[in-house]
Amino acid sequence: MRYFKVQKGYDKDDYISIDETELRKAVIAQVKGQVAIFKDGTISGNSIMSITPDWNRTMGWLRDYKLSDEDYQHIGSKRVEESRLLIENTFNQIMGKLPVEKTIESSHAKELSDKFRLN
């Protein structure tokens, strides 16, 4: 299960942690400025400053634990990218836009692009 922080203030602890099933509700509230009711509380959409992955809760770490570079390596760039795409695609779906697809550049794709490059 993935978790996300719905940031509502400038302090590092001014957020509500939601799971991925509530992500759509949070994005709608932020876009439309509506009040959203979550399992852990309510928030006015006008107060939502950002929606970001909650790595502490996802990984089972304490809420006030400060992540290090090693922790981000443990999380992995693939998981970071998947969470970013989930947020972005949820927003795009609400706005009626096409989803963003992950682009994977393989060595074969790079060879082809280099081969057909116009000079």
Whether 55 contacts 76, CB under 8 Å: no
Which amino acid would we find at residue 44?
S
Domain total of the chain: 1
Tell me the C-alpha distance between 18 and 13, whole Å: 14
For the chain, state the CA radius of gyration. Answer: 18
Which residues, given as ranges, of the chain have pLDDT below 70?
102-119
- Look up the domain containing 44 and give its range: 3-115
**Cβ neighbours around 38 below 10 Å, total:** 16
Q: What is the rounded CA–CA span in Å between residue 52 and residue 86?
A: 10
pLDDT on residue 118: 60
Q: Which pLDDT value is given to residue 100? A: 81
